[in-house]
Structure 1
């Protein structure tokens, strides 16, 4: 569990000051200083941050703003790289060129020394790796920002892959998340065009995703859950987990010797059937989404292996998605209504799938959906890019101030990845045809007698609870009114920004008064020739003038940095 605290005024506690300075310096270096200025960040960082010198920008003019953000995220390390990767899966949240650029972020970093691996093992399992394994390769198979994977052999002869977390990575992520949460709070407060997207909520959702990914016990539990769900399916293989040598920072699993789906030429050499591979992979992912409601949320080509007889094996279960039955049914209705050119149904389903504060004008939403569907009318059914259409639908939703839940973004990502893999291995793959049986099954399940009976029982139970609870709630409210403890909370949005400005003005006036007092007092001391004297001039007065000069320059620099007097 991450220990993330909301940051107040950093200058008073010096929490994470150096890292905050580094983040701001990187953004300024890559020409993103205007964004920092709009955050009014100096009100929180105080003197320490006001003294940051604006480093001379590197030659970034040749890069677009999107490229500069990507480069800045890469320089800032694992937390920002992961955050950029998550943002790249959210159509509508950012312009297309930003999403395309952030999708290029790579989580490849140099491996850390084996001494760090031994330290983690000793800390987590009480003994170094050589006491648990008959062989442990010191050189990792793969290295990423959160951890690295080593090949090893257990005492019983089993070949395993051991994922070991980077030393200190949890603390690094916690610090970055606290700073990101603070920056998101300032964005929500000071930048109107960003506040609608609820950046604080986005960072909190990202923190939960990262927390799941960094907890190897949770990843092992995900693998066990997938294994149970596909126990009778011979087309998929889930690696075995070895719990006796696994902890929250060390994960030991069965070593998989297969071919990545990205290695098309090697698949051809081994005479693997690409058509079967794509269809099986698609069927397994669609089954995870539409039947199980629990799916692998990061099925990129490097995480999917092909074993003998075209058996599919997924790796890296740290990022998973979960959707309930109602969401699955609504998602199916959305696909069905778009494919059948029913904009009215699509609009109503979209409202059920998304979160919103003020219900949008359904007439304009329907009109925009009709325009979007019309762009694809000329295509035959088998040529429709279903993932692209769904992505465009959710891009459109942002224009109507509809926010999409994170697990739906993961679903869109899975569809996009699936079509990308299919286009490289088997371009003739028909996504619509593959999806149809699942859509049909979900639609028919609504009329299953057992399902209808369960829904009726649930409705009666909810009605019974309401009938029982409602009078109690009314009685509680009445008692609060009688005791004069009933209150209604109002939120005045934008008031805090005004208070900050007022505080800023007050500070400058106070500073100016102190400077004026120093000047007048020093002048009186010099005139009265208060000792000690040097060449007949009072040194106390001179010190007062120097202090006033420094404070005056400091105040002037602070005002000029804000761009207004």
Structure 2
């Protein structure tokens, strides 16, 4: 009960946030496109205020904003851009509190586990803080410890978010149209995964294997003996964040080579592996002392099915080769169409114009990731809602755009993507031609040629003797037979009813001591039987026949 005033205040703040910031955004489609263009500066101001309001409400909503930045189908480009810049740097928690979390998780104190441990955090994010340390064996490591009480705080915020989303979806057209309950459910899964540092350690190990052949990229190794659900220990990487590179350092590095390898690695993750780092913003990449890019913070990853990997290949190749119809084919096959009223011709025209215009725009003005996100947003405007994986891939590419602009502003990502896609296609073709498949194909071809003369002779004999028959399944035979049976039954009943009525009429002329209502009894029995049978038949027809 002591927490009730806080929860009520939280409800009030969130309800006010929804009314002031969220509802106008969701209702934006009622405005004309002309009005939207004229109000672009105002839209940018509103987007910045939206992001700052999320930032002020704490770590749960910073993470929620980062999820929303992948939903260009919900938000205008100005809002997506503002949310991409959300920062989750917070005031550090005291070392004593963090050391207690470490001891509870690992079962030993920091002083016993490590030979040296710097009590000043090198990073203080919304979910945890990272420290530099040296193990007893002499390894220099980075130790990320989860903030105390953060799980409980996030759980409370998720409960409030869920109840408000359910209320908004039930009582507002905007909430129902954009499936707010499902959006919050996706966020719950995402942030729960980020809170599990064992899962993140597994992600680091998997990505290290995937990128092992890329000379300019690296992933820090994990030290599983010092990892738990709330503690993550990995190799310390010497270097600086890309965002902190000085002008002098920029002149000494080979930016084109770095970003080319980075793009190649991401295409490999998207298309070949189906597993990728979903949040490669510049703050999560470190330029090491050895001149490589190191991936950090793998709490958010994406996974793609075989079908989705093929879709990504065709989407990227369609964009690079200016094949807009191929892009539209991918969109229509993968997306969910609202109300089944999508005008494919108009969508094709808009996509073709966008892809064609991108060739005339300089690389500095329009990067590859930006183009992908514009296509996704255009799909939403046409009523095609693409799977969440498309937005995750688009967000990753948007972050890579920022890295390209920072490290190699003259680099052309479109040309690089096209070159790497051709290499991937060639490799996939070679892999499909394995010896066992080739041998199977040869055996099947041999059987085809052996049996072909016999089958051809049989076909010609049947044709010459008029024995050739074609079975066409054009009707439902069972339904047809049942219909004929029903007709026959009704005709039979009709004949019986007619016979009973004729018999009753004839018996009326014969006097009898057995009478009903003053008429010959046998005649009345026949007549009543005829009436009952006729009534039943009419009732059965009205009830069952269509």
TM-score by length of 2: 0.70
Q: Which residue of structure 2 aligns with residue 175 of structure 1? A: 156
Q: Which residue of 2 aligns with 1:429?
A: 411
Partner of residue 111, structure 1: 92
Task: Give the corresponding residue for 1:260.
Answer: 241
Select which of 277, 286, 290 maps to 2:267: 286
Deviations 1:260-317 (A, max 9, x none): 2223326627933223222222322332222222111111112212234422211111
2:53 counterpart residue number: 72
The CA deviation string for residues 429-466 of structure 1, in whole angstroms up to 9 with x for no partner, is: 11122112332245453683359959x99xxxxxxxxx
Given candidates 100, 103, 120, the residue that maps to 1:122 is 103
Q: 2:259–2:408: 8 Å Cα contact kept in structure 1? A: yes
Q: Please give the alpha-carbon distance, in whole angstroms, between the structure 1 residues aligned to 2:433 and 2:289.
A: 42
Note the C-alpha offset of 1:188: 2.2
In the alignment, the residues of structure 2 paired with residue 373 and residue 277 of structure 1 have an alpha-carbon distance, to the nearest angstrom, of 26
On the 8 A contact 1:26/1:72 being kept in 2, the answer is: no
Larger Rg belongs to: 2
Deviation at 1:400, TM superposition (A): 2.4
1:465 equivalent in structure 2? none
Which of residues 370, 379, 382 is equivalent to 1:400? 382
Task: Supply the distance in 2 between the matched residues of 1:195 and 1:251 (Cα, whole angstroms).
Answer: 40
| Cα separation, 1, equivalents of 2:141 and 2:395 | 30
Query: Does residue 16 of structure 2 align to residue 28 of structure 1?
Result: yes
**Which residue among 215, 228, 233 is the counterpart of 2:196?**
215
**1:103 and 1:384 mapped to 2: Cα distance?**
17
- 1:136 counterpart = 2:136: no
What secondary structure is seen at the aligned counterpart in 2 of 1:148? Answer: strand
Q: Report the equivalent of 2:479.
A: none
CA contact (8 A) 1:329 1:443 kept: no
Equivalences for residues 215-234 of structure 1 within 5 A: 215-234=196-215
Question: Which deviations, in whole Å up to 9, do the C-alpha atoms of 1:514-548 show, x marking residues without a partner?
Answer: xxxxxxxxxxxxxxxxxxxxxxxxxxxxxxxxxxx
Does the alignment pair 1:155 with 2:104?
Answer: no
Q: How big is the alpha-carbon RMSD for the aligned residues of Structure 1 and Structure 2?
A: 3.3
1:327 to 308, 329, 332: 308
Q: How big is the shift at 1:327?
A: 1.3
1:327–1:160 distance in 2 versus 1, CA, 3 Å: same
User: What's the offset of the Cα at 1:247?
Assistant: 0.3
In the TM superposition, residue 33 of structure 1 has moved relative to its aligned partner by: 8.9
In 1: Cα distance, 2:155 partner to 2:394 partner: 28
In structure 2, relative to structure 1, the CA distance for the partners of 1:33 and 1:393 (3 Å cut) is: closer
Match of 2:298 among 317, 325, 328: 317
Asked if structure 1 preserves the Cα contact closer than 8 Å seen for 2:70 and 2:395, the reply is yes
Residue aligning to 2:478: none
Contact 1:16 1:175 in 2 (8 A): no
Q: 1:258 to 1:328 in 2, by over 3 A?
A: same
Q: Deviations over 1:386-434 (max 9, x none)?
A: 2222111111111222223222212111211212211122112111221
Confirm or deny that 1:92 pairs with 2:73. yes
Structure 1 SS opposite 2:74: coil
2:243 partner SS = coil
Residue number in structure 1 paired with 2:446: none
Question: Contact (CA 8 Å) 2:59, 2:127: kept in 1 or not?
Answer: yes
- The aligned counterpart of 2:287 is 306
- Give the unaligned 5+ runs of structure 1: 1-12, 39-60, 458-565
Aligned counterpart in structure 1 of residue 369 of structure 2, from 368, 387, 391: 387
Secondary structure of 2:252's partner? Answer: coil
Of 429-438 and 357-366, more deviation after overlay is shown by: 357-366
Could you tell me how far apart the structure 2 residues matched to 1:243 and 1:271 are? 36
Do the aligned partners of 1:85 and 1:103 also contact (CA within 8 Å) in 2?
yes
Instruction: Go from structure 1 to structure 2 and tell me whether the alpha carbon gap of 1:197 and 1:435 turns closer, same or farther (over 3 Å shift).
Output: same
**Structure 1 position 64, deviation (Å):** 4.4
Secondary structure at the counterpart of residue 253 of structure 1: strand
Instruction: Give the deviation of 1:151 after TM superposition.
Output: 0.9
User: Does the alignment pair 1:343 with 2:324?
Assistant: yes
- The residue that corresponds to 2:422 in the other structure is 440
Measure the CA separation in 2 of the matches of 1:375 and 1:92.
21
Q: Which stretch of structure 1 is more off in the superposition, 90-99 or 71-80?
A: 90-99
Structure 1: how far apart are the matches of 2:343 and 2:250?
56
User: TM-score, normalization: structure 1?
Assistant: 0.68
SS in structure 2 of the partner of residue 225 of structure 1: helix
Matched with 1:522 is none
Offset, 1:380? 7.9
Q: Is the 8 A contact 2:21 2:50 kept in 1?
A: no
Q: Could you tell me whether the CA contact under 8 Å between 2:218 and 2:294 is conserved in 1?
A: yes
- Give the direction of change, closer, same or farther, for the CA distance of 1:409–1:17 in structure 2 (3 Å limit): farther
SS state at 2:403 partner = helix
Q: Please give the alpha-carbon distance, in whole angstroms, between the structure 1 residues aligned to 2:59 and 2:173.
A: 29
Partner SS for 1:162: strand
Please list the CA deviations of residues 164-200 of structure 1 after superposition, one character each: whole Å capped at 9, or x if unmatched.
Answer: 0000111111111121122222222222234232222
For 1:160, what is the secondary structure of its paired residue? strand
> 245, 258, 276: which one pairs with 2:257?
276
1:364 deviation in Å?
3.1
Contact 2:239 2:286 in 1 (8 A): yes
Please name the residue that 2:536 is paired with. none
Q: Between Structure 1 and Structure 2, how many residues are aligned?
A: 422
